[in-house]
Amino acid sequence: MLALILASLVQSITEFLPISSSGHLLLLSELGFSEQGLGMDILLHLGTLIAVLIYFREDVKEVLRGLLPKAKTRQLLLQLVVATIPIVVVGFFFGHWIEVVFRAPVVVAYTAIIFGFLLWLADNYFPAHQRLKHMSLKQAFLIGCAQVFSLIPGSSRSGTTMTCARMLGLSRTDSARFSMLLSIPAICLAVLYAFWQGMTGGLDLPSLGESVGAIGLTAVFGFFVINFLMVWVQKASYTVFAVYRILLGIGLLIYLSFV
Continuous H helices in 17-74: 21-30, 38-55, 57-65
pLDDT computed for residue 50 by the predictor: 95
pLDDT for res 211: 81
**Sign of dihedral through CA atoms 175, 176, 177, 183?**
positive
Tens-binned pLDDT, residue by residue, of the chain (259 aa): 677 787 788 878 888 999 887 677 667 666 666 555 667 777 888 899 999 999 999 999 999 999 988 888 899 999 999 999 999 999 888 887 887 888 888 998 999 999 999 999 999 999 888 999 899 999 999 999 999 999 998 899 999 999 999 999 999 999 999 999 999 998 888 788 777 766 666 666 677 788 888 899 999 999 999 999 999 999 999 999 999 999 999 988 998 898 7
> Helices 208-235 and 2-16 meet at what angle, rounded to 10?
30
What's the CA gap between 79 and 170, in Å, rounded? Answer: 14
Going by the DSSP 8-state scheme, the letter that residue 29 receives in this structure is H
Q: CA-CA distance, 37 to 237, in Å (whole number)?
A: 34
Alpha helices, H only, 34-136: 38-55, 57-65, 75-102, 105-125
Do residues 173 and 125 touch, judged by C-beta distance below 8 A? no
Cα separations (Å) of 34 from 5, 128, 157, 189? 10, 39, 22, 25
* Tally of domains in the chain: 1
Q: What is the CA radius of gyration of the chain?
A: 18
237: domain range?
2-258
Quote helix, strand, coil % in the chain, to nearest 5: 80, 0, 20
Q: What is the predicted pLDDT for the residue at 45?
A: 81
Distance CA(253)–CA(49), nearest Å, equals 32
